[in-house]
């Protein structure tokens, strides 16, 4: 059985144990959950997975465990090599095989074969962890030589296009990726570094050693690179990774830096979450295009639907603000607000909802479920943000505040379309967009006095009752407080009306 995803808290406690037990502490990559975990299901697309044994480069001789994926077909496919981080590794636990990650699915969607090698001392790779004290560059370079051995072996595979290779890595793997650039391996076109770095318990000057080694990497590589770091990285503070980038660039390295800002509780692990994909996917697409590597989507099945950005429609906890919902729909939305991330709430024009959390593609699954009806669907909320945008053709809203008395029915609007002689030309066609949470809205025909402005040519009709359509609001029995609902006149090219009701 594949291993379960470990929590961040467990990862930190294991790392603290490792600091006391080993000379080398490698920080920290919690991989995306594996196939049997409820946090991630594999995409519905071919993986053609193989687990290989490939000889490492440096003595003593060891074999490295390497997982490969590739699309269907004979290829040859460009190759993406993805280097793992390190978490919960000890003398008794060498970590789990790096296998299912969003980056692997991303490259598969772009038509790449993917290789995920385990370094010495990890999972089922032979040997022990490299350790060179404060020479953090030497540690990474030793691992990079083993990565080079993996690339050389895979380059002989007829399914691989050995002329087109890109190398990426996260945390410890990102650090090893930067070191690989100094080896000037033919046909490697570029490097992608996600939160790269390393720490050694034998080194008391860890920050300075990282910065110095980054300068050495920049001075000895000709490859372009793309770097991602965040502002709330628990392992590498902003001044450290900024100094690493500055020293790398000053040494002659060609790097683009992306600051992902504050991401969840720890930006060091942002690559492990679907929520980060709208940040890094477009930037990686652009980088691949710049270095002459494929960047276009060729098989959408490998990719989850990316989450749209938040809007200012309403606060996520404002249950009455959600359009179209019935009382049952509001109850489902309240349950959604208690679900763990990633979570998605989708609504349709007919009042239907779909709520999903976890899994490989929660937004895609929710949209598919919602679209089982003929009404248009759209995401309303994702995680703790509202992302709702009105459907195309849905009129904008005008907001009005209305005070009503408890336990009474109040007419909110009355409309009639008249001829110049005050006879009825047509009835309004009101449609309720958003139900109130604490009352009832009724729409129906009614005889009443129109209320045209005094300057209107129809003001003469204000003295005689005419047939029209009324919108009335009745609060729930005993209710007092705030409520809200929206409606639109389908026969008029006017904005929808959002009515904020105060019952007192």
Q: 122-140, pLDDT tens digit by residue?
A: 999 999 888 898 999 999 9
pLDDT of 396 reads 61
The whole-number average pLDDT for the span 351-367 is 89
What pLDDT sits at residue 118?
95
- Distance from the Cα of residue 248 to its chain's centroid: 29
The band of 494, judged by pLDDT with boundaries at 50, 70 and 90, is: low
Could you tell me which CATH number the domain at 8-302 has? 3.40.50.1820
Measure the CA–CA gap between 458 and 77, rounded to whole angstroms: 73
Mean of the pLDDT values across residues 270-297?
Answer: 95
Looking at residue 348, what is its pLDDT?
Answer: 87
What percentage of the chain reaches a pLDDT higher than 70? 88
Most confident of 117-121, 197-201, 358-362, 414-418: 117-121
Q: Tell me the mean pLDDT in the region 68-80.
A: 96
Contacts of 62 (CB under 8 A, 6+ apart): 55, 56, 120, 125, 126, 127
Q: How far apart are CA 165 and CA 179, in angstroms?
A: 16
List every span in the chain annotated with CATH 3.40.50.1820: 8-302
Is residue 428 within 8 Å of residue 417, measured between CB atoms? yes
State how far the Cα of 86 lies from the Cα of 172, in Å rounded to an integer: 6
Whether domain 397-503 has CATH 1.10.3470: the reply is no
The answer to whether 69 and 98 are in contact (CB under 8 A) is no
CATH 2.60.40 in the chain, residues? 397-503
CA distances from 276 to 1, 58, 355 (A): 28, 36, 20
pLDDT at 7 over 50: no
**Least confident range of 192-201, 217-226, 256-265, 394-403:** 394-403
Q: Where residue 427 falls among pLDDT bands split at 50, 70, 90?
A: confident
Alpha carbon separation from 306 to 80, 303, 344 (Å, rounded): 21, 8, 12
Residue 302 has what pLDDT?
Answer: 95
| 502 has a pLDDT exceeding 60 | yes
- Is-contact 464 491, C-beta < 8 A? no
CA distances from 65 to 26, 52, 314, 344 (A): 19, 6, 50, 37
- Per-residue pLDDT at 493: 60
| Structure-model confidence comparison of residues 500 and 409, the more confident one | 409
Spatial CB neighbours of 282, under 8 Å, sequence gap ≥ 6: none
Q: Inform me whether the pLDDT recorded for 418 exceeds 50.
A: yes
pTM as predicted: 0.72
Contact call for residues 143 and 122 (beta carbons, < 8 A): no
Minimum mean pLDDT among 48-62, 67-81, 275-289, 426-440: which range? 426-440
């Amino acid at each position: 059985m594949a291993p379960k995803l470990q929590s961040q808290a467990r990862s930190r406690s294991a790392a603290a144990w490792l600091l006391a037990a080993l000379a080398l502490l490698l920080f920290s990559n919690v991989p995306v959950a594996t196939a049997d975990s409820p946090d991630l299901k594999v995409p519905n697309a071919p993986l053609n997975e193989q687990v290989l044994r490939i000889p490492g480069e440096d003595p003593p001789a060891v074999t490295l465990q390497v997982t490969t994926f590739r699309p269907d077909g004979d290829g040859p496919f460009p190759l993406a090599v993805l280097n793992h981080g390190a978490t919960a590794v000890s003398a008794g636990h060498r970590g789990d095989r790096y296998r299912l990650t969003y980056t692997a699915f991303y490259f598969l969607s772009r038509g790449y074969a993917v290789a995920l090698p385990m370094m010495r001392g990890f999972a089922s790779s032979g040997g022990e962890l490299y350790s060179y004290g404060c020479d953090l560059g030497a540690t990474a370079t030793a691992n990079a030589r083993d990565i080079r051995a993996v690339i050389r072996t895979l380059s002989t595979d007829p399914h691989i296009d050995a002329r087109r290779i890109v190398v990426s890595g996260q945390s410890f793997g990102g650090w090893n990726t930067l070191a690989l650039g100094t080896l000037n391996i033919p046909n490697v076109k570029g490097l992608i570094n996600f939160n790269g770095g390393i720490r050694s318990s034998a080194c008391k000057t860890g920050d300075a050693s990282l910065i110095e080694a980054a300068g050495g990497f920049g001075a000895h590589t000709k490859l372009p690179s793309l770097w991602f770091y965040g502002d709330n990285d628990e392992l590498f503070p902003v001044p450290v990774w900024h100094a690493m980038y500055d020293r790398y660039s000053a040494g002659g390295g060609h790097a683009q830096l992306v600051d992902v800002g504050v991401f969840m509780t720890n930006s060091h692990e942002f690559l492990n979450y679907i929520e980060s994909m709208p940040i890094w996917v477009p930037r990686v697409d652009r980088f691949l295009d710049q270095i002459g590597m494929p960047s276009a989507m060729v098989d959408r099945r490998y990719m989850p639907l990316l989450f749209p950005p938040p809007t200012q429609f309403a606060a996520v906890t404002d249950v009455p603000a959600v359009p179209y919902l019935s009382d049952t729909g509001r109850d489902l939305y309240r349950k959604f607000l208690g679900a763990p991330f990633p979570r998605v709430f989708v609504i349709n024009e007919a009042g239907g909802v779909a709520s999903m959390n976890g899994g490989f593609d929660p937004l895609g699954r929710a949209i598919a479920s919602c679209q089982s009806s003929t009404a248009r669907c759209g995401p309303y909320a994702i995680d703790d943000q509202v992302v709702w945008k009105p459907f195309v053709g849905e009129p904008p809203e005008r907001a009005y505040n209305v005070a009503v008395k408890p336990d009474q029915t109040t007419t909110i609007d009355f409309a009639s379309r008249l001829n110049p002689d005050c006879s009825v030309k047509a009835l309004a066609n009101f449609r309720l967009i958003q139900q109130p949470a604490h009352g009832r809205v009724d729409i129906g025909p009614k005889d009443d006095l129109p209320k045209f402005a005094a300057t209107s040519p129809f003001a003469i009709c204000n003295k005689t009752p005419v047939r029209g359509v009324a919108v009335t609001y009745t609060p729930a029995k005993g209710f007092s407080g705030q409520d809200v609902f929206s409606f639109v006149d389908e026969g008029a090219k006017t904005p929808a009306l959002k009515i904020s009701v105060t019952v007192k």
